[in-house]
């Protein structure tokens, strides 16, 4: 068997384009946007102009004719510069546009997908509630069938782009007694009356990513906003998550790489006892561990993306990359902080931001506990490794 690990020339160009974009368009605003907890619309618009929201989307709906691996390469480079901005890909592309492409009626595809890809619509997806996280089937936000419309009441929590989104996927209970089979997905219109959105500012990290609590009070939702069929929402949600989890994995790869590069640079610049600290064995051990974990994560992320591009079973591999990505990013950020000593604890270096942002990967898109269960059940044969 021949295994070729080389990127194609086109993939290298995409990778470099994303790297240059992140360094030129995102990096200059990091300090300002972190300090102000500010989501910058002009960066979002430029990402759309560069075609960043069109991966895996058919060209007839505005897609860029590229797939999962190319998307992962771009997310990695963006996250490496500022991890907050890796969130945009899932909100626009793999979380909203791609899910509508898979499950939507043709008129929904033609209307919504081009607008998410172009950035005309700012997207989101909402499933989490204040007391409902991993147990998606236990959600309480409810929409009652009133004949011509659904009457929506309840709230959602920790919703990325929650205060800035125009439209997005909303998962709610339409049959409170049917468990997972009672969930329906709507392509929610956030201009409808009865919606209150409150920004969440007291987050540990992701300070340049918008996050909100959304409250729905007697919101009349037109039936044409249903995605797929009534009661199909849980299946739609699980398939969506298997895509957005790769975006999370690629983001952890970017942050892991940022920590590694910052640590190597500092180890060569900082001298103690007459030589660079990189010459000392314990510092070398830190660098070596970070390097090995980053390389292993790179393989996992790229393999999961490749499997998706081939249409092969990938749920286990995607969860493996998500689970290991969280461990690698947290470990790399912690080691980076320690290696920088007192300077790591100051805002002169990005170590604090790395450490704040890394913890997201243990929670978002499924907790590490949930991904451990997914990997173990697939490995043991208790559940299939789905496409």
Percent of the chain with pLDDT over 90: 97
Q: Do 132 and 110 belong to one domain?
A: no
* Domain extent for 34: 9-118
Whether 340 maps to a domain, the answer reads yes
Distance, C-alpha 135 to centroid of its chain: 19
Percent of the chain with pLDDT over 70: 99
Q: Residue 365's domain is classified under what CATH number?
A: 1.20.140.10
Q: Which residue has the tokens 């619309």?
A: 41
Could you tell me the pLDDT band of residue 304, with boundaries at 50, 70 and 90?
A: very high
Whether 207 maps to a domain, the answer reads yes
Instruction: Determine contact, residues 318/242, Cβ cutoff 8 Å.
Output: yes
pLDDT of residue 334: 98
Closest to 204 (Cα-Cα) out of 367, 363, 41: 363
SS3 16: helix
Q: Which is catalytic among the residues 25, 70, 362, 365?
A: 365
Q: Do 242 and 347 belong to one domain?
A: yes
Burial class (CB in 10 A: 0-12, 13-18, 19+), 270: middle
SS3 69: helix
Q: From CA 148, how far away is CA 245, in angstroms rounded?
A: 36
Whether 287 maps to a domain, the answer reads yes
pLDDT of residue 133: 80
pLDDT tens for 11-52 read 999 999 999 999 999 999 999 999 999 999 999 999 999 999
Q: Do 244 and 358 belong to one domain?
A: yes
Q: Do 44 and 67 belong to one domain?
A: yes
Q: Do 218 and 284 belong to one domain?
A: no
Whether 387 maps to a domain, the answer reads no
Q: Do 239 and 369 belong to one domain?
A: yes
Report whether pLDDT(1) > 80: no
pLDDT of residue 5: 86
pLDDT of residue 2: 67
Q: Do 93 and 148 belong to one domain?
A: no
Domain end, chosen from 200, 230, 260, is at 230
Q: From CA 323, how far away is CA 246, in angstroms rounded?
A: 11
Burial class (CB in 10 A: 0-12, 13-18, 19+), 202: exposed
What would the mean pLDDT of 273-298 be, rounded to a whole number? 98
Q: Do 239 and 333 belong to one domain?
A: yes
Could you tell me the pLDDT band of residue 4, with boundaries at 50, 70 and 90?
A: confident
Respond yes or no: is residue 365 known to be catalytic. yes
CB atoms within 10 A of CB 323: 26
Q: From CA 313, how far away is CA 50, in angstroms rounded?
A: 30
Over the chain, what is the mean pLDDT? 97
| Overall number of domains in the chain | 3
Q: Do 264 and 303 belong to one domain?
A: yes
Half-sphere exposure for 166 (CA within 13 Å, toward CB): 8
Whether 1 maps to a domain, the answer reads no
Could you tell me the pLDDT band of residue 100, with boundaries at 50, 70 and 90?
A: very high
pLDDT tens for 105-158 read 999 999 999 999 999 999 999 999 998 888 888 999 999 999 999 999 999 999
Q: Do 147 and 249 belong to one domain?
A: no
Q: Residue 149's domain is classified under what CATH number?
A: 2.40.110.10
Q: Distance between the two ends of the chain, CA-based, in angstroms?
A: 23
Q: From CA 348, how far away is CA 350, in angstroms rounded?
A: 7
Q: From CA 352, how far away is CA 207, in angstroms rounded?
A: 12
What would the mean pLDDT of 71-94 be, rounded to a whole number? 98
Strand partners, 173: 142, 183
* Percent of residues in the chain assigned helix, strand, coil, to nearest 5: 60, 15, 30
Domain end, chosen from 230, 261, 282, is at 230
Instruction: Determine contact, residues 313/262, Cβ cutoff 8 Å.
Output: no
Residue 117's contacts (CB-CB under 8 Å, 6 or more residues apart) are: 48, 53, 54, 57, 61, 62, 63, 92, 93, 97
What would the mean pLDDT of 238-245 be, rounded to a whole number? 97
In order of 103, 295, 354, the CA distances from 135 in angstroms are 23, 33, 29
Q: Do 260 and 359 belong to one domain?
A: yes
What would the mean pLDDT of 202-221 be, rounded to a whole number? 98
Closest to 233 (Cα-Cα) out of 127, 144, 156: 127
Q: How many residues does the chain have?
A: 387
Q: Do 240 and 188 belong to one domain?
A: no
pLDDT tens for 276-285 read 999 999 999 9
Q: Residue 28's domain is classified under what CATH number?
A: 1.10.540.10
């Amino acid at each position: 068997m021949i295994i070729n690990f080389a990127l194609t020339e086109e993939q290298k160009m995409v990778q470099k384009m994303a790297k240059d974009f992140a360094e030129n368009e995102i990096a200059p605003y990091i300090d300002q946007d972190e300090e102000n907890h500010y989501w910058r619309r002009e960066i979002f618009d430029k990402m759309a102009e560069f075609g960043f929201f069109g991966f895996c989307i058919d060209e007839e709906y505005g897609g860029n004719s590229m797939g999962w691996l190319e998307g992962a390469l771009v997310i990695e480079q963006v996250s490496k510069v500022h991890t907050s901005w890796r969130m945009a890909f899932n909100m626009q592309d793999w979380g909203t546009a791609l899910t509508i492409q898979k499950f939507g009626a043709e008129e929904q595809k033609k209307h919504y997908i081009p607008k998410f890809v172009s950035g005309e619509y700012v997207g989101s997806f909402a499933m989490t509630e204040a007391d409902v996280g991993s147990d998606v089937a236990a959600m309480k936000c409810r929409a009652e069938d009133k004949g011509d419309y659904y009457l929506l009441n309840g709230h959602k929590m920790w919703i990325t782009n929650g205060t800035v989104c125009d439209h997005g996927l909303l998962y709610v209970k339409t049959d409170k007694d049917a468990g997972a089979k009672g969930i329906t997905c709507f392509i929610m219109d956030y201009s409808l009356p009865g919606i209150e959105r409150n920004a969440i500012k007291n987050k540990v990290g992701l300070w340049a990513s918008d996050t909100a609590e959304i409250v729905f009070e007697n919101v009349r939702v037109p039936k044409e906003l249903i995605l797929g069929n009534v009661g199909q929402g849980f299946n739609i949600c699980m398939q969506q998550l298997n895509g957005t989890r790769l975006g999370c994995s690629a983001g952890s790869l970017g942050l892991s790489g940022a920590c590694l590069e910052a640590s190597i640079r500092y180890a060569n610049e900082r001298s103690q006892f007459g030589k660079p600290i990189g010459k000392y064995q314990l510092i070398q051990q830190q660098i070596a561990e970070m390097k090995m974990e980053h390389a292993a994560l790179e393989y996992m992320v790229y393999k999961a993306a490749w499997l998706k591009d081939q249409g092969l079973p990938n749920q286990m591999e995607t969860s493996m990359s998500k689970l290991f990505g969280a461990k690698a990013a947290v470990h790399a950020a912690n080691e980076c902080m320690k290696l920088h000593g007192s300077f790591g604890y100051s805002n002169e270096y990005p170590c604090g931001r790395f450490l704040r942002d890394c913890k997201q990967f243990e929670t978002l898109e499924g907790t590490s506990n949930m991904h451990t269960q997914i990997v173990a059940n697939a490995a043991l044969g208790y559940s299939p490794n789905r496409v």
